[in-house]
Structure 1
Amino acid sequence: MAKKHTVSETNETISAVITALGEGAVGIIRISGTEAAAIGDKLFRSASGKRLTEHTPHLLVYGHVVDEENSKIDEVLAVYMQGPHSYTAEDVVEIQSHGGLQSLKTILGLTYKMGARPAEPGEFTKRAFLNGRIDLIQAEAVMDIIKSRSEASLKMAVRQQDGQLSKKIKGLRRNLLDIVVNLEAVIDYPEEDIEEITFNTVSEGMEKVKQELEYLLKHAHTGKILREGLQTVIVGRPNVGKSSLLNALLSEERAIVSEYAGTTRDVIEEQLLLGSVPLVLVDTAGIRQTEDYVEKIGVARSKERLDKAELAVVVLDGSQPLNEEDEEILNAVAGKPCVIIVNKGDRPQVNDLTALQKRFGKDRVLLLSAKTGGGLEQFTAWLQSYVYGSEHAISGGAYVQNTRHENLLREALLSVEEAIRAAASMLPYDCLVIDLHKAIDAMGLITGDTLQDEIINEIFSKFCVGK
């Protein structure tokens, strides 16, 4: 069982600039820890003449930052937040100064002289977690909010910070703990006539947890896409309109379009929001046999990106029949997540759409024209359906966005399935307890209930300084 984390015993006070560096109207410096209030009183002179801590907590106070010689450094607003009613659950002082680099650097340097030390990446959020204000899922959701690429991913991250996913996983973990208690009652009191009742209760309970874990994992694909973007590659033989499609989706001339085959020699990567789906979209060199050295390198890179893609957009020329190069690409994507785009729909069609639909599915073969834009809305609708399902929207439930969470949920599911098989085989209850404890620990690693200190440090080291 993983060692449960403990709150750090350090009394060190930390400080950092918590706004993006660069010239701006406002910059904010946060001070957190046992000496935050004292540093705030030394650093800040209010217009009223009162100390910062003599003002009502959580209200902005107008004044100036002064140095050791009582010289004014900057005109600021300051706020004192008394723990535990603050972001870190410690005493916190935040100073809103002008956003110039020199002003922020000078004020931050004064906080160091007065007893604070530089905050490490993610240390403010780490302290909020260690002090019990938030759990680990909520802490990781902070970075998800910062990195959100769409309105849907932002909403999902905010729900995670509010604790929706935490409540779900903690509830499932608690259900397993209750099952273990029932099993251990039978193990410890074999003379009591409770085994048959316990077996039925335990079996039903494990099956319900299994179904809930499967549901979370089923939708983890959607959550990951919203968090990181769908890795999408556009493939096809030369001159079928791949670059034209990229330009049409971006609404700009990003890639060179030419009537000559082999114009695109390397991969072109762009990020965009199509409908409500964030895409990492890659336009590739046309896949074909070639003797041109540079084009050959581009073709090799195209195949490499196709192997790594989460979705392949195969572009065909609808005004021409399929040839060997088309067939080679279609065979390469068989069995992979893909959509077939029959381009040049503004011209007379030669391609057999019905045959393609029988081969790949009616909903995965779309006719459009990158030149005129006809059919692009249909492609956007298909993409939304592919990511979100038929509802085309994220409901108010709990979704998994984090790969770490997904992997641990899979571990938990495997352990629960092992326990179910053990019960079906009438193995000793001790075997079930072992498997269920593995699942309990895996879910505890998600919420932070059974997390080792080194893993905590690794997670928060990925945060930016200031969070």
Structure 2
Amino acid sequence: MDGFPFSETICAVATPIGEAGIGIVKISGPDALTSLRRIFRARTVADAFASHRLHLGWIVDPSTDQRLDEVLVSYMKAPRSYTGEDVVEINCHSGYAILDRILRLVLAQGVRLAEPGEFTRRAFMNGRLDLSQAEAVVELIRSRSEQELAIAGRQLRGELSETVHAWRRRLLNIEASLEAFLDFPEELEEEEGSSGHDAVSQELRDRLLPAVRELASRYDEQRVLREGLALVLAGKPNVGKSSLLNALVGRDRAIVTPIPGTTRDIIEDTFVIQGICVRVLDTAGVRSGADTIESCGIERTLRSVEEADLVIWLIDTSRPLSCDDDLIAAHVIRRPHLVILNKADLPQVIGRKDVFDRYPGVEHAVSLSVLRPDDIQQLRETIRTRFLRDAQLSACPAFIPNLRQKRALDEAASALERAARLIANGDFLELVAAEVRTARTALETIVGIGAPEDLLDEVFSKFCIGK
């Protein structure tokens, strides 16, 4: 991709705002170095700002000549920079006041504040990254587990891009062959007979189509590796859901009281099981006779159960089963689930047989107390072996598509399937060529070839301003 000329120079704080050792203000564009020179005073005689070197000095307010902070400045001359443009990074001490003051000084030099994702968007437009690699940047930043980090890293290195480009080249060759048959039908028919069409059909049906489908299928099969396991805690009030949340995440995340209906909205946190992120959601207790606000929480509980990867249904074995348990069971047994027979440390009123007899759809049940650390460790191991084992055994495939990429792969697979069927039926080659072009165009959206502005806006809006 040819470089895209951006006339404006942009800047942003590239590190989280707050007290820390280092904060970074990033500037990118044709006037990056000129803007820096107006507010930077080197400690020694400047060496013409050699590229890819650190320069020690002070940020100075040019209107008062007041020194604001001692900094290290790096200058990266185009095109050897993240954006492909001249880039300056001011490494200062981190704090809200100093970062804000330096940013305002940069803006006063005629530099514009960057939009969300604009640095990476410029890297894409200048050919430093393709669109799938740009998406990997934000996924790398948001990674919460080793598995997510590995997946994003492989995509950032271009493994997905290489595969898509290889498929695209093969489709271009097929299009060229089909165009040749359309332009010179008699000559090629005499020379190749039906073998030419058979070769195209075999390439589409037996090689490209299975490969595209296999990659698309990884999204559903390995989504847990990329996005984490969505685990929902469900049950009646006061069965121990909030206590279990606190035990799993290792801190007091939810309020625990003996008063029914304390949790009225969904509380979410995360923990990690052997490199896989688990998003655990504590929900409102399900019961009849709830007030209006609590009823809204119960509706959200039931919706979250329907969307969960795994539901942990807690039952208080020191109390009898009730119609509230029946309501929960109707939703839970349709989803992957694990029943926790909680409060095993108290006198027991019901047991496993009562639960299995009343709810034949229950698949797994374990007896424990959420207040005992050994029982929590046992629960973690149960989740790993029964619900994460497949994901861990297959981790990590070369790359896993995100949802946008999966939709493009599905579109390409459908077009390839239609093309293969058309050519097998002996239909017009013009129709075959049109389907092959549709497949190629769908694959091109994965890496950003010919991507429309609205698609780019959608992708880069997910970034923070400093990236």
Q: How would you bin the TM-score normalised by the shorter chain? A: 0.7 to 0.9
Please report how far the alpha carbon of residue 382 of structure 1 lies from its aligned counterpart in structure 2 after TM superposition.
Answer: 5.0
Residue type at the aligned position of 1:284: T
Distance 2:344 2:420 in 1: 54
Residue type at the aligned position of 1:466: G
Distance 2:142 2:52 in 1: 27
TM-score normalised over the length of structure 1: 0.85
Residue type at the aligned position of 1:447: V
Give 2:328's aligned residue: 329
Query: Residue by residue, what CA displacement relative to the aligned partner does 1:375-396 show, whole Å, maximum 9, x if unpaired?
Result: 5445434544635626446225
Give 1:63's aligned residue: 57
Distance 2:420 2:360 in 1: 40
Give 1:233's aligned residue: 232
Q: Are 1:106 and 2:101 counterparts? A: yes
Please report how far the alpha carbon of residue 255 of structure 1 lies from its aligned counterpart in structure 2 after TM superposition.
Answer: 4.2
Residue type at the aligned position of 2:330: N
Please report how far the alpha carbon of residue 210 of structure 1 lies from its aligned counterpart in structure 2 after TM superposition.
Answer: 2.5
- The change in CA–CA distance for 1:65 and 1:317 in structure 2 (over 3 A counts) is closer
Distance 2:373 2:19 in 1: 41
More divergent stretch after superposition (153-162 vs 189-198) = 189-198
Query: Residue by residue, what CA displacement relative to the aligned partner does 1:248-306 show, whole Å, maximum 9, x if unpaired?
Result: 3233454455677x454523412112313323322223334336555544433322322
Give 1:274's aligned residue: 272
Asked if the contact 1:52/1:80 (under 8 Å) is kept, the reply is no
The unaligned stretches of length 5 or more in structure 1 are none
Distance 2:229 2:133 in 1: 24
Give 2:29's aligned residue: 33
Please report how far the alpha carbon of residue 240 of structure 1 lies from its aligned counterpart in structure 2 after TM superposition.
Answer: 4.2
1:391-410 paired onto structure 2 within 5 Å: 391-392=392-393, 394-395=395-396, 397-400=398-401, 402-410=402-410
Q: What secondary structure sits across from 1:22 in the alignment?
A: coil
Please report how far the alpha carbon of residue 365 of structure 1 lies from its aligned counterpart in structure 2 after TM superposition.
Answer: 4.7
Give 2:245's aligned residue: 246
Q: Are 1:173 and 2:171 counterparts? A: no
Please report how far the alpha carbon of residue 6 of structure 1 lies from its aligned counterpart in structure 2 after TM superposition.
Answer: 7.8
Q: What secondary structure sits across from 2:185 in the alignment?
A: coil
Residue type at the aligned position of 2:135: E
TM-score normalised over the length of structure 2: 0.85
After superposition, the CA RMSD in angstroms is 3.2
Please report how far the alpha carbon of residue 123 of structure 1 lies from its aligned counterpart in structure 2 after TM superposition.
Answer: 1.3
Distance 1:387 1:213 in 2: 26
1:107-146 paired onto structure 2 within 5 Å: 107-146=102-141
Asked if the contact 1:36/1:91 (under 8 Å) is kept, the reply is yes
Residue type at the aligned position of 1:203: S
Q: What secondary structure sits across from 1:49 in the alignment?
A: coil
Please report how far the alpha carbon of residue 447 of structure 1 lies from its aligned counterpart in structure 2 after TM superposition.
Answer: 0.7
1:156-195 paired onto structure 2 within 5 Å: 156-191=151-186, 192-193=188-189, 194=192
Give 1:153's aligned residue: 148
Alignment equivalent of 1:49, drawn from 36, 45, 48: 45
Residue type at the aligned position of 1:198: G
Give 1:423's aligned residue: 423
Distance 1:154 1:461 in 2: 21
Asked if the contact 2:236/2:285 (under 8 Å) is kept, the reply is yes
Please report how far the alpha carbon of residue 33 of structure 1 lies from its aligned counterpart in structure 2 after TM superposition.
Answer: 1.6
Please report how far the alpha carbon of residue 125 of structure 1 lies from its aligned counterpart in structure 2 after TM superposition.
Answer: 0.9
Distance 1:73 1:448 in 2: 42
Aligned residues: 457
Q: What secondary structure sits across from 1:280 in the alignment?
A: strand
- The change in CA–CA distance for 1:164 and 1:379 in structure 2 (over 3 A counts) is farther
More divergent stretch after superposition (273-282 vs 140-149) = 273-282
Q: Are 1:338 and 2:337 counterparts? A: yes
Query: Residue by residue, what CA displacement relative to the aligned partner does 1:316-349 show, whole Å, maximum 9, x if unpaired?
Result: 4567886654444333234433334444566877
Residue type at the aligned position of 2:154: R
Distance 1:253 1:66 in 2: 46
- The change in CA–CA distance for 1:223 and 1:123 in structure 2 (over 3 A counts) is farther
Asked if the contact 2:27/2:88 (under 8 Å) is kept, the reply is yes
Asked if the contact 2:147/2:396 (under 8 Å) is kept, the reply is no
Residue type at the aligned position of 2:399: A
Residue type at the aligned position of 1:299: I
